[in-house]
Copies of this chain bind each other. A is one copy, B any other.
């Protein structure tokens, strides 16, 4: 089904209001979920709204939970998210990181006991849109085997970094698994093989068969042992910086996906040394050099992270945004209560 941005957002907002969110929360959540779908990240856009509703009903998300300042020192602030809405908690934390960066050059905000922030890149992107370099990451419950294990032992903890540029930010949003479970499902339903091995089958062989990986639950870390180590490091770092739950603590007390997680937001002010123009020129030169590299396929010049997203967004804003029929029916029902 194809829906216009305006109608999609208004419907989502109505659903959020019916679920007990206040006007401001509903507006922000509708905007973030709809934008994710507009960018082609449906898994964290419309597709997540029914699950968000379920988590609210189960008490795994508390719409009244607000970030509470626990500690502060210099350029660092530490909050308790009180199991509030992941999106609004993360927006609050990333905006605070910017305020700290304005004052100290760099700003770091950690938040513990928060909930799923939906699309990870949202917050680093937001920081870069405001002119700051943004770095953020999160720990999740275990959904990926550590290297050398056949049992889920670590989250696919995404690492996001966004670089402000004169026009649009350069944004990387990288989960530590080669493919998300959502992606495996998309390939399976289309009857397609993965372009590259995405995990192990039950016999322990690397495979491009998405169904075999869904069955074994043995998704592959990016770079094999490297992504496994990085995922565990990001978990430990998030735990250390927030004094929050680690991924294994979250496994012990299940409160839904990312329920009780720890998140980190670092902002850096590129203007502190008064050399912004010179820096932006260097970044331009760097990006142009990348784009000019010889492409494998002459018709497909080298692209940068975010390029395809922007094309997709522009097209979807004009032609309307795809949403799964059954998901849309559920959202309409939530909106009509």
- Write the A152-173 contact mask toward B (1 if CB under 8 angstroms, else 0): 0110000101011000001010
Q: Contact check, A240 vs B294: say whether CB atoms are below 8 A apart.
A: no
- What is the count of identical protomers in the complex? 2
Give Cα A75 to B74, complex, Å.
8
Known: A106-B74, A295-B148. A226 touches B222 (CB 8 A): yes
Cβ-defined contact, B133 with A293, below 8 A = no
The A interface is mostly helix, strand or loop, or mixed, namely mixed
Q: Is the CB of B240 within 8 A of A133?
A: yes
Q: Which of A15-23, A51-59, A245-253 contacts B (4 or more CB under 8 A)?
A: A245-253
A172 CB contacts on chain B under 8 angstroms: 229-230, 232-233
Q: Is A239 an interface residue (CB 8 A)?
A: yes
B76-A161 in contact (CB<8A)? no
Q: Given A149-B296, A236-B163, A226–B174 Cβ distance below 8 Å?
A: yes
Interface residues on A, range: 35 or more
B204 lies within 8 A of A296 (CB): yes
Whether A189 sits at the interface, judged by CB under 8 Å, is no
Whether A303 sits at the interface, judged by CB under 8 Å, is: yes
Within 8 A of B (CB), among A114-157: 133, 135, 145-151, 153-154
Q: Would you list the 5 A-B pairs with minimal beta carbon distance, nearest first?
A: A222-B223, A76-B105, A74-B104, A248-B289, A153-B293
**Can you name 8 extra interface pairs (CB under 8 A) apart from A149-B294, A159-B230?**
A76-B106, A104-B104, A149-B295, A153-B293, A172-B232, A239-B279, A240-B282, A246-B289
